[in-house]
């Protein structure tokens, strides 16, 4: 019983796709933890933010993530999550700010560099985007997301062959993933344009 049982029930809601209900439950749990479980507040707030993000309630996700970041300002996972929330809301400057902080605290994480490359691309900063994605691929040559992003950048630069090669690599590295689906959709668009 108690907090562990409430947490278990909230995670079950999340896994069943009841994202908003899970967000409500996780947020309530984080604010009413028994003393012995107080150390779990930030991890539970992280899950609450993710639940609200999945529920497409970006304002609530941002609010929860900001509350947690006020307590742990250099929590890399929180910074990354909030950057995804602000990017989904179209605020790429805010996303970039959080990703810069995350990257400063975790310089070896390729996933952060790929996300930052994407933010740079949306802010029309292709040179910075390419520098980040090249660094990400040097750190993690198996990063399907890195190849997808570099393919996007190459396509924008008019390098269709390079883009196709990167997208094929992305699809091969992570078959059956959302990344592979995006890469394959990009290849299909390229093929339509060529014909």
pLDDT tens-digit map of 24-57: 888 888 888 877 778 888 999 999 999 999 999 9
22 has pLDDT over 80 = yes
Flag whether pLDDT at 13 surpasses 80. Answer: yes
| pLDDT at 185 (0 to 100) | 96
pLDDT at 134 over 90: yes
Q: Please report the DSSP string for 75-132 in residue order.
A: -HHHHHHHHHHHHHTT-HHHHHHHHHHHHHH-TT-HHHHHHHHHHHHHTT-HHHHHHH
For the chain, domains (ranges, CATH) are 20-30+40-107 (1.25.40.10), 132-195 (1.25.40.10)
Alpha helices for the chain (secondary structure H) = 2-15, 19-31, 41-54, 58-71, 76-88, 92-105, 110-122, 126-139, 144-156, 160-173, 178-194
Q: What is the mean pLDDT of residues 108-134?
A: 98
Identify the pLDDT of residue 65. Answer: 97
Cβ-contact 135, 150 below 8 angstroms: no
Identify the pLDDT of residue 15.
86
pLDDT of residue 195: 56
Phi then psi for residue 175, to 5 deg, are -60, 150
21 versus 111: which is more confidently predicted? 111
pTM for the model stands at: 0.87
More confident residue, 102 or 193: 102
Distance, in Å, from the CA atom of 30 to the CA atom of 15, rounded to the nearest integer, reads 19
């Amino acid at each position: 019983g108690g907090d562990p049982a409430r947490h278990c029930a909230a995670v079950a809601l999340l896994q069943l796709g009841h994202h908003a209900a899970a967000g409500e439950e996780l947020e309530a749990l984080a604010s009413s933890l028994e003393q012995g479980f107080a150390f779990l507040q930030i991890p539970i707030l992280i899950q609450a933010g993710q639940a609200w993000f999945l529920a497409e309630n970006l304002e609530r996700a941002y609010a929860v993530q900001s509350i947690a970041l006020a307590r742990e300002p250099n929590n890399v996972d929180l910074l990354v999550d909030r950057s995804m929330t602000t990017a989904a809301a179209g605020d790429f400057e805010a996303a970039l700010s959080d990703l810069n902080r995350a990257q400063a605290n975790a310089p070896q994480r390729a996933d952060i560099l790929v996300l930052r490359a994407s933010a740079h691309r949306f802010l029309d900063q292709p040179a910075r985007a390419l520098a980040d994605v090249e660094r990400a691929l040097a750190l993690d040559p198996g990063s399907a997301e890195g190849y997808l992003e570099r393919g996007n950048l190459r396509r924008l630069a008019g390098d269709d062959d390079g883009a196709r090669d990167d997208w094929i690599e992305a699809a091969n590295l992570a078959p059956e993933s959302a990344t592979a689906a995006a890469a394959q959709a990009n290849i299909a668009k390229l093929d339509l344009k060529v014909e």
